[in-house]
Each structure stands twice: as C-alpha cells, then as structure tokens.
C-alpha cells in the first residue's frame, strides 16, 4: 500500500534536499565566522521550510490515512494520533 | 575578530551535523514509504533541535556583539536588529 | 444543529474565562510596574493556555465537522480549510 | 525606579485591553455556537496580538534592564534570564 504522501513524494524530497543543503550552508557560515544575525536568519528560513514540509505531510495524512480511518471505523484513534502530532508542532 | 559564538562553535557544528543527518534520514523515511506520523514526529524533532541551535547563537550574540554595542554606543541599533531576528523565530 | 465542540463547551468557556483573568492580571502587573521578566512569563503562560483551547477546538472540529464532510462528500474542502487554520497556529 | 517599559506602558495596556475584549468575544462566539474555524481564526489572532506585546516587553527589557546590567556588571545573569524567557516563547 502506498503512503498518503505518495503524490507529493518528489516535491517533499526536493524540499528536504534543499533544506539539507541549507543546514550544510549554515555549518559553512559558522566555519567562516559569519555574522550571528545572518546565521539566525538562515536558521529561521530552515524552520519555515520545515514547517511547509510538515504541513504537506499533515495534509496528505489527513486526506489519506485519517479520512480512510474515519470511513472505516469512525477514526477516533487516528484523530487522537493526529492531534498529538499537531501539538508537537504548535508548542 | 572572532564572532560571538567562537566558544560554542564546535558544539553548534556538531548539532548541525546531527540535524543534517536527521534531514537525510527523513528523506530515507519518505523513500521507504514510512508512516506519516513517524515522519511528522521526526520533523518536529528537527525543529526542536534547530530551536536549540538558534537559542545558542542568540545567547552568544547577546553576550558578545550586543553587549559590546551597548557599552560602545548604547546599542540602539544592535538591539533593534536583535528584536527583529527574535520576531522571526517567535511567529 | 450543535457545533462540534458542544461537549467541551463548558470546559472551553472555563479556560477562556481564566485566560481573560490572566490578561487582566498582566494589565495590573504593568500598572504596578512589575518586573519585565515576570510579565513575559505570564504572557507565555497565556499563550500556552490559548494553545490548549486551540487544540481542543481543532480536535472537536476534526472529530465533528471534518469527519462528517469526509463521510458526506470526501471532505476535500473541509480538509483544505483545516490545514489553512493549522498553518496559522504553526507559523 | 521606573520599569523598562515605562514609555510603552499605555500602548501595551491598550493592546492588552483589546486582547481581553477579543478573549471575551471568543467566549461569546462559543456561547452562540459559532463555526469552529472562525473560533480558531480568532484564537490565532489573539496569539499574534500577544506575540506583539511580548516583543515590546522584550525589547524594552533589553534596552533597559539588560543594557543597564551589561554596563554595571557585565550582564551575565541578566542575559541568562533573558534567554530563558525567550526560550518559553520560541518552543
């Protein structure tokens, strides 16, 4: 069975490859002794990029697994699990 | 002149190397079709790890550059810049 | 028709009344010239309390309206709306 | 002695009064059985408004108390306290 994010897979991988490159870039900035504020700005950019990937996975998961669980068994457990992971992103 | 984070440099680089590995790990999880919730949990872990690096840079910057600016010229500009970057992390 | 949060209504109202009291308390603290860090700590406590109410509404909404939409029409629109509001909390 | 936020006091009180009104408004929305997404949108608006007040207090505190501590005794303790409260807002 394919995971819920099957159709967004290449988009997500592309984003994560870019994020990986950004994280490597921050290491270079630190090695080069770059200005703190520039490093913080890059860290915030990576956070924003990760938020976008997180929202994509969240959306695919809700459209896929959660919707299926709701149709199959009411979805009580799937929704609890979903809320618990959303809680990790919010706080 | 050394940047404010000179003393935490190797600690920060170590953390960023680990974060880079985690981001690569998430790509593998997606390629392996792993469960959405596990991917979301890993994304949240990377966010938390980046927050820690961000707080280290922020602290070093305040102890170093900002404190110097406050002693040298009152620090008005340095504090404005600091707040602007904190704003990026908060919202 | 009752909203999805019908059963949590009194719990949510109780929490919001407490939050309203905390916001009034922060105004008193400012009028009394209390220490900035104490005010910031209270502001962060209110944010955490609001996050909890937000998560309750989110969970009730998903269990109620979204689940209903998924069963009725597939839920495409309801899930899009849900994700858009989650995005507001995450960033 | 005046607190660091003396000059922004009335601005901050005005914002908090508005926030208090918004929190009361959300209670009314719940009593009226308003749509979950509208309630969530209002909760997110209150969070954003609280973030702004938090950033104001943070900036005043840094310009005032922290800058004074840096000039008086190097500020080690004041900066540690500042970072600890920023950490509460970030995660």
DSSP single-letter state for residue A8: G
Whole-complex ipTM: 0.95
C37: closest chain D residue by CA: D85
Residue D60's contacts (CB-CB under 8 Å, 6 or more residues apart) are: C36, D3, D4, D5, D7, D8
Inform me whether the pLDDT recorded for A71 exceeds 90: yes
Q: Point out the residue among C23, C30, C89 whose CB comes nearest to the CB of D9.
A: C30
Q: Is C74 in CB contact (< 8 Å) with chain A?
A: yes
Q: How many CB pairs under 8 A join B and D?
A: 57
Q: D78 lies in a domain?
A: yes
pLDDT of residue A53: 97
Q: What is the DSSP string of C11-69?
A: HHHHHHHHHHHHHHHHHHHHHTT--HHHHHHHHHHHHHHHHHHHHHHHHHHIIIIIHHH
* Domain around C83: 9-90
pLDDT tens, residue order, chain B (91 aa): 689 999 999 999 999 999 999 999 999 999 999 999 999 999 999 999 999 999 999 999 999 999 999 999 999 999 999 999 999 988 6
Q: Does C91 touch chain A (CB under 8 A)?
A: yes
- Tracing tokens 């819920």 back to the chain, one arrives at A4
Residue B46 phi, psi (nearest 5): -65, -40
The answer to whether residue C3 is domain-embedded is no
Which residues, in sequence order, are CB contacts of C77 under 8 Å at separation 6+?
A: C69
CB contacts < 8 A (C, D): 120
Residues of B in contact with D86 (CB under 8 A): 55, 58, 86
Query: Does the residue A2 lie in any domain?
Result: no
In a domain, B73, yes or no: yes
pLDDT in tens, A16-66: 999 999 999 999 999 999 999 999 999 999 999 999 999 999 999 999 999
Q: Which residues of A17-40 are buried (b: 16+ CB within 10 A; e: fewer)?
A: eebbebbeebbebbeeeeebbebb
The answer to whether the predicted template modeling score (pTM) of the entire model surpasses 0.90 is yes
CA angle A78, B40, C3 (to 5 degrees): 45
Q: Residues of A with CB below 8 A from C91's CB?
A: 48, 51
- List per-residue pLDDT tens for chain C, 91 residues long: 689 999 999 999 999 999 999 999 999 999 999 999 999 999 999 999 999 999 999 999 999 999 999 999 999 999 999 999 999 988 6
* C44: CATH: 1.20.58.1000
**Rounded CA gap, A91 and D65, in Å?**
28
> Of the candidates D29, D43, D36, D23, which has an alpha carbon nearest to the alpha carbon of residue C3?
D36
Q: Which residues of chain D have pLDDT under 50?
A: none
SS3 content of chain D, % helix, strand, coil (to 5): 85, 0, 15
**Cα C60 from Cα C57, distance rounded (Å):** 5
Binding partners of C (≥3 Cβ pairs within 8 A): A, D
Confidence category of residue A90, pLDDT binned at 50, 70, 90: confident
Q: How many domains does chain B have?
A: 1
């Amino acid at each position: 069975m394919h995971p819920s994010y099957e159709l967004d897979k290449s988009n997500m991988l592309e984003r994560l490859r870019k994020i990986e490159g950004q994280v490597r870039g921050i290491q270079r900035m630190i090695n080069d002794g770059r200005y703190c504020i520039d490093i913080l700005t890059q860290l915030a950019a990576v956070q924003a990029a990760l938020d976008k990937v997180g929202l994509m996975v969240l959306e695919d998961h809700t459209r896929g697994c959660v919707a299926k669980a709701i149709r199959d068994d009411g979805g009580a457990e799937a929704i609890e699990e979903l809320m618990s992971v959303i809680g990790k992103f919010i706080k």
